[in-house]
Chain A
């Protein structure tokens, strides 16, 4: 499905978001990506769904180099890739049915898209997709009246309508509570398995990754640290993967953000006596 060869991304401001990633993902495979925040997982996914263009290496989709596509061909390739985001990225003011049918926008002409806003085109398709994600009664609700978990289900329904070959889920459950998180990960796993779709997921929760995916890729500092079956992912590897992360990194982020206003020197560093 995907072949990544030395894939890297440096942003115009000089930040090296992804150093060098080489991977091969077979059609229908389920892969979880884990690693500390800032490791480059989200950048990797935005490269994989063709939102960003890599600054080095090649990315092949079914043998076709997609890093140089543009125009119609690029749109056609994007249509084959469905993405689910941490923040749902729905339009809250639209009714659920329109957010779900937006999955058709890769196929619809401008006129059809406009007409569907007045009179939804393919109500049955939208209703079926919502049924499969477990909220069949929300078809006509305004999207921003739904809970976070329900909105994530709407986002999944949109991808079902899009009917892509690959589903990318970027931290799909980081903003819902743990029970719901497990339910949504399982739902995505089962839906993808039933339709034979490739599923790649970024997960904050190692536990969910190990429990639901046959292949785990650890990413740190923009590079692949390991690429193993869950049984082989020992605690020592996880410790090395996450070393220095969590609280400490958060502290640094806060310091970096407040720098302009107070100057670093005015705040005690984490772990130092005041």
Chain B
């Protein structure tokens, strides 16, 4: 954004800096290429080709007999249930922590002009910082890793999947919720506050109604992700379709794997359709 009429004292140093940046980027790329052992030729080796051929041959035709399809009802239902219960738990974690992590609600801005002395202000920072820290830890550890830990803690099955989704997604929801809530127009809040409304009144009649479409939209998006995630988490034994895929893979039943993947695709598409419908109803 250099403006020719206004010479900036920083401009002579700029070209050198950007040349350095380009060099650094180049070096990173070359190093990454080597360290990640990127070698497309591996895909074309005879052994790899044979393996791929075995997989494709084994997968076709997919297993579609009535027995297997009927058997699938359970893992499919389980995947949906994991995602729904996981989202319920994520909401229970994300909404309260997200509100605590909202600076405009806890210590900053127009609602806190009259908040009293510096000690009270500092005390108000405490829950805010704790909430932000907790959310950060929850979402920094991937749901897959959470699932692995919860499987150790409570055993195989859908429940560790629910816990893992709830904790990891709770962290993400809380963070994004707090950003949405901070972005809300503060003027209606000031008006409610000036009329004697307390914190809860401002939240219920000013903050949440303004933020609702964004909150709902993001939550639904996360639910779509949760369906996919609950399939992945099955690989570490946390139930659902994923666990079935993993089992079939290990038994070299590739025809079952193909059917399972198709079912997962169908499930994801259906969920996106449903959430799109809800979104249109709420956001419109």
Q: Whole-angstrom distance between the alpha carbons of A194 and B200 in the complex?
A: 33
The number of inter-chain residue pairs (CB within 8 angstroms) is 106
Interface code B106-125, partner A: CB below 8 Å = 1, 0 otherwise? 00001001111000000000
A243 sits at the interface (CB 8 A)? no
Task: Find out whether the CB atom of B200 lies under 8 angstroms from the CB atom of A106.
Answer: no
Task: Find out whether the CB atom of A108 lies under 8 angstroms from the CB atom of B201.
Answer: yes
Give A108's nearest chain B residue, CB to CB.
B201
Task: Find out whether the CB atom of A83 lies under 8 angstroms from the CB atom of B191.
Answer: yes
Q: Which of B34-42, B149-157, B169-177, B203-211 contacts A (4 or more CB under 8 A)?
A: B203-211
A265 in complex: contacting residue of B5, B110, B187, B209, CB < 8 Å:
B5
Q: Whole-angstrom distance between the alpha carbons of A89 and B193 in the complex?
A: 11
The number of chain B residues with a CB under 8 A from chain A is: 29
B205 in complex: contacting residue of A74, A85, A98, CB < 8 Å:
A98
Task: Find out whether the CB atom of B194 lies under 8 angstroms from the CB atom of A49.
Answer: yes
A70 sits at the interface (CB 8 A)? yes
The smallest C-beta distance from A121 to any residue of chain B, in angstroms, reads 13
Q: Which of A110-118, A177-185, A201-209, A227-235 contacts B (4 or more CB under 8 A)?
A: A110-118
A237 sits at the interface (CB 8 A)? no
Q: Whole-angstrom distance between the alpha carbons of A99 and B192 in the complex?
A: 10
The smallest C-beta distance from B217 to any residue of chain A, in angstroms, reads 14
Task: Find out whether the CB atom of A105 lies under 8 angstroms from the CB atom of B194.
Answer: no
Task: Find out whether the CB atom of A106 lies under 8 angstroms from the CB atom of B195.
Answer: yes
The smallest C-beta distance from A23 to any residue of chain B, in angstroms, reads 20
Instruction: Report chain B residues within 8 Å CB of A102.
Output: 192, 195, 197, 201, 205
With contacts A79-B195, A82-B195, A85-B187 known, is A93 near B205, CB below 8 A?
no
Q: Whole-angstrom distance between the alpha carbons of A89 and B195 in the complex?
A: 12
A272 sits at the interface (CB 8 A)? no
Task: Find out whether the CB atom of A52 lies under 8 angstroms from the CB atom of B113.
Answer: yes
B196 sits at the interface (CB 8 A)? yes
Q: Whole-angstrom distance between the alpha carbons of A114 and B198 in the complex?
A: 13
Instruction: Report chain B residues within 8 Å CB of A110.
Output: 198, 200-201, 204
Contact-residue bracket for chain A? 35 or more
Q: Whole-angstrom distance between the alpha carbons of A158 and B201 in the complex?
A: 14
B179 sits at the interface (CB 8 A)? no
Interface code A47-78, partner B: CB below 8 Å = 1, 0 otherwise? 00111110000000000000001100011101
With contacts A70-B114, A91-B210 known, is A78 near B194, CB below 8 A?
yes
Residue among A50, A91, A261 with max Cβ neighbours from chain B (10 Å): A91
Instruction: Report chain A residues within 8 Å CB of B78.
Output: none
Instruction: Report chain B residues within 8 Å CB of A78.
Output: 193-196
Q: A residues 125-167 with Cβ under 8 Å of B?
A: 155, 158-159, 162, 164
Task: Find out whether the CB atom of A81 lies under 8 angstroms from the CB atom of B194.
Answer: yes
Task: Find out whether the CB atom of B194 lies under 8 angstroms from the CB atom of A94.
Answer: no
Q: B residues 61-112 with Cβ under 8 Å of A?
A: 110
A266 sits at the interface (CB 8 A)? yes
A218 sits at the interface (CB 8 A)? no
Q: Whole-angstrom distance between the alpha carbons of A82 and B196 in the complex?
A: 9
Instruction: Report chain B residues within 8 Å CB of A49.
Output: 194
Q: Whole-angstrom distance between the alpha carbons of A49 and B99 in the complex?
A: 26
Task: Find out whether the CB atom of A162 lies under 8 angstroms from the CB atom of B196.
Answer: yes
Instruction: Report chain A residues within 8 Å CB of B194.
Output: 49-51, 78, 81, 83
Q: Whole-angstrom distance between the alpha carbons of A212 and B226 in the complex?
A: 62
A87 sits at the interface (CB 8 A)? yes
B133 sits at the interface (CB 8 A)? no
Task: Find out whether the CB atom of A113 lies under 8 angstroms from the CB atom of B209.
Answer: no
Q: Whole-angstrom distance between the alpha carbons of A50 and B209 in the complex?
A: 25
With contacts A51-B110, A51-B190 known, is A117 near B204, CB below 8 A?
yes
10 further A-B pairs in the complex, CB-CB below 8 A; given A91-B209, A110-B201, A265-B6 = A50-B114, A81-B194, A82-B195, A89-B188, A90-B191, A98-B205, A102-B195, A110-B204, A162-B195, A263-B3
A-B contact pairs, 25 of them (CB 8 A): A51-B110, A51-B113, A51-B190, A53-B113, A70-B114, A78-B194, A78-B195, A78-B196, A81-B194, A83-B194, A93-B212, A94-B205, A98-B205, A105-B195, A105-B196, A105-B197, A107-B196, A110-B201, A113-B200, A113-B205, A114-B200, A114-B204, A158-B195, A262-B3, A265-B5
